[in-house]
Amino acid sequence: MLSSSSMAVEFQGHTDTVVSVAFSPDGKKIVTASHDRTMRIWDAESGKELQKLEGSESVVSKAIFSPDGKKIATASFDEIARIWDAESEKELHKFVGHVRNVNDVAFSPDGKKIATASFDETARIWDVESGKELHKFVGHDGRVLSVAFSPDGEKIVTGGMDYTARIWDIESGQELKKLKRYVDEGFYSVSFSPDGKKVAVMCVILTQTGGEHHVRIWDVESGENVLAIRHPSILGNLSFSPDGKQLLSAGRYSDAHLDTAAWIWDAESGRVVRTLEGADAPVAFSPDGKKIVTAGNGPVRIWTLE
């Protein structure tokens, strides 16, 4: 197991916890979202702040680049998702319809749609150009915390507080699979593998002494849980590497210990490939898989994977 990596750049600017990090498609920029109600765009090489986007009336929970890098989608606790022009900083659209916090947002692979996940127990699909709501996915019996598109754009996966993750057909709105292992298991972060054949989830199993945190991988076709990893920290987020061979996760070791770390796992065996002590969630791979970005209560950091 490799236990060290090189921290290349550190970004300073946000005044509160950073809850979302993402690379631009070309890997040259990073967008972050924070409890300070701002989104910021940074140069990934120098760490210089390039732009500051403001306009949300509440906590910004997620910010991501569109597949062409020209737009940014954000989710926020004012019940609204937004699309911004990544160059001019102009707000292009507001997506209004959710009646509680919007916790997550994802672009479709072609960039023409976004999916949102909300505390109102629904996920929704929207048209990026018109701002029109296209589909509403109803079935979760609790907050929907996370959403992701499949690589072919035909499905989404959602994770919720009702102890399920669900795979849905985009066009029909039909629920295709319900992923569930234990009765008291909440699904907090979901991600499709690059080939679309697997779904990774970060979840917590409630116990008499608190909660056990796990990373699980499910086969999309069969709905079978094919890998389970006991996670060494409390909840963070996770994502597949661009080649699908590894998983990245992060978090704090426990409520009693403030020490944090990120882990890179072999997606087939569940073996730890690398540990980055001091890294914190949220985390994301660069498009080429050679770097990761981490954040949390400290500064935003870029790590080079040697």
Q: How confident is the model at residue 3 (pLDDT cuts 50, 70, 90)?
A: very low
pLDDT of 180 reads 75
The residue type found at 137 is: F
pLDDT of 56 reads 74
How far is 205 from 187, CA to CA, in rounded Å? Answer: 9
Residue 275: burial class (beta carbons within 10 Å; 0-12, 13-18, 19+): middle
How far is 117 from 160, CA to CA, in rounded Å? Answer: 9
Measured from the Cβ of residue 138, the count of other Cβ atoms closer than 10 Å reads: 11
Tens of pLDDT, residues 54-67: 877 788 999 999 99
How far is 275 from 212, CA to CA, in rounded Å? Answer: 20
Measured from the Cβ of residue 58, the count of other Cβ atoms closer than 10 Å reads: 14
Range list of β-strands (E), 161-282: 165-169, 175-179, 185-192, 198-207, 210-219, 225-230, 238-240, 246-252, 260-266, 272-277
Q: Is the peptide bond before 232 cis (omega within 30 degrees of 0)?
A: no
* Nearest Cα residue to 237 out of 273, 282, 192: 282
- Is the pLDDT at 235 greater than 70, yes or no? no
CB 30 within 8 A of CB 300: yes
Query: What is the mean predicted confidence (pLDDT) over 91-107?
Result: 95
pLDDT of 55 reads 72
- Class of the domain covering 6-304: mainly beta
Hey, what are 24's tokens? 């631009």
Of 84-93, 105-114, 198-207, 216-225, the range with the lowest mean pLDDT is 198-207
How far is 32 from 188, CA to CA, in rounded Å? Answer: 19
- Is the pLDDT at 288 greater than 80, yes or no? yes
- Is the pLDDT at 7 greater than 80, yes or no? no
Tens of pLDDT, residues 170-209: 999 999 999 876 545 556 789 999 999 999 988 776 666 6
Reading phi first (left if > 0) and then psi (alpha if -120 to 50, else beta), residue 128 is in: alpha
How far is 188 from 164, CA to CA, in rounded Å? Answer: 10
Classify each residue of 216-254 as buried b or exposed e, where b means 16 or more C-beta atoms within 10 Å of its C-beta.
bbbebeeeeeebebebebbbbbbbbbeebebbbbbbbee
pLDDT of 207 reads 60
Q: How confident is the model at residue 243 (pLDDT cuts 50, 70, 90)?
A: very high
pLDDT of 285 reads 96
Domain assignments of the chain as residue spans, ordered by start:
6-304
Quote the mean pLDDT of the chain.
Answer: 88
Q: Both ends of the chain: CA-CA distance in Å?
A: 13
Give the torsion sign (CA, 86, 92, 98, 101): positive
Residue of 152 and 214 predicted with greater confidence: 152
CB 106 within 8 A of CB 118: no
pLDDT of 211 reads 66
Query: What is the mean predicted confidence (pLDDT) over 37-58?
Result: 89
Contacts of 300 (CB under 8 A, 6+ apart): 10, 11, 14, 18, 21, 30, 32, 42, 293, 294
Residue of 295 and 112 predicted with greater confidence: 112
Residue of 187 and 250 predicted with greater confidence: 250
